[in-house]
Structure 1
């Protein structure tokens, strides 16, 4: 506060004081600028001193090399987010890695064959995929962007699928044919059937680290001839409980098989082996031993009710012993509620689904069961969780069959997909895949 009797400074003194203040401000600004330059130099020196691996953390740096192609950290992170938003089963990060490696292999062989997709075709594919979520492409893209997934990530996903589909058609279409007899059997299978089949199976576990090798082995086994050779391979490679008897299953009505599998099975002649069939963490092969018409029509099932109780420990002796104790305690699916009481809600799943909506590996096990019977052949979480699977019941409903043209197309598409998957397994097996 200024004293009321103080004298006002002269104009000269005021000017000198103002000049001194300006000079002080300039010196302070110079010191601040010098400090910033020193800090920048120190940061630059620190970055130059860091090892190359630290600098490689840039999201756009390569993290996986597939032959001569690369996958960046950004692509891996984006595909992981994309699969998470889609609620894809399994570990999204591992699945993203597998898919991107497959995409590089697919795009490479397609490019070598001169097969590409136009921007219009890619957009059409995006529209088709978005329609599964009852959206158009623009709405689906906005939803993805809200979850941190770019439009380009979706576009690349759609393009790879389109190009691979066209490549598979060009390469394998000449090998795919459907006879009138096969169509007759398939036609009967769509709305009740009197056909039953006698099959043998090989189910090989395919964890992510071994998936390519297992697919390649499955492609070789699909060329086996004769029941003895298949039975020997089942004893050596199969993880199914049927391995001890050479993979042999009992007679089974066709309508008990998963709908997606029926055209494949009906296309087999006695003694013939199917192409590899991908399952959840496994690969399946089937051999037709016999097929016959019983004269008694089995109904088509509209819904299958089942329960899955998850036991930690995979196929360890402790987990299998616990499963055996549970099996001794329960007679119906309702009994499992008492077993799971006090445990996390996700330890027990129960519900009724249309046959086409049931995961393929579960559907295959359910086909072998009658009401109240149990299977412990499956695992989840890369083999770390044992699935105690129980069939609760089946609901029947006769439905109209598909037309012959639709059935023929369905059979051809499934066989085409099997050829393509087998070829992709060979590409994986031969590829040079390295982590950067």
Structure 2
């Protein structure tokens, strides 16, 4: 695997930046069944082809986007067509320079140039046009939303004050969840299919618990996957967004994590009356050979540790890459790491994660509020504007969906 292709997988967080892209691919007449040009959905006067579905699905899988890739691909392409019609209506177009800048911006967040990003995608079977349309039309959609709602609202100084006091992350709720983690080696498609099957079959908490005991690779499997009350600020944002759409007892769509596929059951939601800034965690990852007795070795090592600093003694003489100690906000953590750390108290550890054939001894060193330097009120204002625009954009798309004529062959 090339360096560029490895870096591609660090691009997961970019999806939030271009949350509702839309394509401008030429419309093709439907070909015979099985053809790449087979029509899979009609929206008003436009169509989505099998080729577009396959390309978008592969692109989302490469970026490790949470959820079922097929469902997310169809959702995104549907939004594409609805938004494209609105852009045409208002005469919005991108220049070549704007498109190139958008592609460079997207790729840069994976520490790549646009050319390197396109090359990495091409090695995995994703065309340059798929990336071009995804990135470019995402920018166009943002311009459409800003043009529609610019000047329709203002952010008051009082709202900024409340954001400063309450932090920049929604800490207003605690969730009572159950988890089911399916380990993945290679292509996650098989485990995705199992996760979808379980989601369709499970209707009760007891049913989820039985499935977790049978299939889950998480330490919570022995408890039927049941987790304790967890503040939303300590969970990966993409998982919070997914489970908040559920009712009590419902099971989420599959979530693709590094080396795993997960489903969650929402058992209860409670209001968290405390206000706290964004949560920051310090944690250590120590790679251990994934031998049959690795759990016993991890438990024995833990008895020799008073803090994460003691891991440096355990790693003496080993390659530097074997031990990593990091300090990050929860929203910046890989989803699998954030999910495990949310279940730990300082000094506790987990061995649920595997990476590159090794077992990860994951230890929580500490957890606390993020403390920054001087407060930039204008930056907070921009964040609040962005959030408000996101909500308005979602409502806008829902309005377009309700007015559209949508059919499948």
Shorter chain as denominator, the TM-score bin is 0.5 to 0.7
- 1:244 and 1:412 map into 2 onto residues whose CA distance is 41
- 2:136 and 2:214 map into 1 onto residues whose CA distance is 37
Say if 2:228 is the partner of 1:245: no
User: How much does 1:205 deviate?
Assistant: 0.9
Counterpart of 2:308 in 1: which secondary structure? coil
| Residue of structure 2 aligned with 1:365, choices 340, 347, 351 | 340
Counterpart position of 1:390 = 363
Counterpart position of 2:104 = 130
Counterpart position of 1:93 = none
User: How much does 1:124 deviate?
Assistant: 5.8
Counterpart position of 2:237 = 259
Counterpart of 2:237 in 1: which secondary structure? coil
User: How much does 1:154 deviate?
Assistant: 7.2
Say if 2:196 is the partner of 1:212: no
**Structure 1 unmatched runs, 5+:** 1-76, 91-99, 166-186, 416-436
- 1:203–1:283: 8 Å Cα contact kept in structure 2? yes
For normalisation by structure 2, the TM-score amounts to 0.59
- 1:251 and 1:192 map into 2 onto residues whose CA distance is 16
- 2:181–2:263: 8 Å Cα contact kept in structure 1? yes
Say if 2:293 is the partner of 1:293: no
Counterpart position of 1:55 = none
User: Deviations along 1:10-35, whole A, 9 cap, x unmatched?
Assistant: xxxxxxxxxxxxxxxxxxxxxxxxxx
User: How much does 1:161 deviate?
Assistant: 4.4
User: How much does 1:378 deviate?
Assistant: 0.8
Relative distance call for 1:249 and 1:126 in structure 2 (3 A) is farther
- 1:266 and 1:411 map into 2 onto residues whose CA distance is 16
**Structure 2 unmatched runs, 5+:** 12-51, 60-69, 139-162, 399-409
Counterpart position of 1:47 = none
RMSD between aligned residues: 4.5
- 1:259 and 1:105 map into 2 onto residues whose CA distance is 22
Relative distance call for 1:338 and 1:143 in structure 2 (3 A) is same
Aligned residues: 293
Relative distance call for 1:125 and 1:326 in structure 2 (3 A) is farther
Say if 2:173 is the partner of 1:195: yes
User: How much does 1:241 deviate?
Assistant: 1.2
| Residue of structure 2 aligned with 1:318, choices 293, 305, 316 | 293
| Residue of structure 1 aligned with 2:305, choices 316, 325, 330 | 330
User: How much does 1:230 deviate?
Assistant: 1.3
Say if 2:391 is the partner of 1:408: yes
Counterpart position of 1:11 = none
- 1:265 and 1:215 map into 2 onto residues whose CA distance is 18
Counterpart position of 1:225 = 203
- 1:200 and 1:104 map into 2 onto residues whose CA distance is 30
Counterpart of 1:208 in 2: which secondary structure? coil
Larger Rg: 1
Counterpart position of 1:83 = 5
Counterpart position of 1:103 = 55
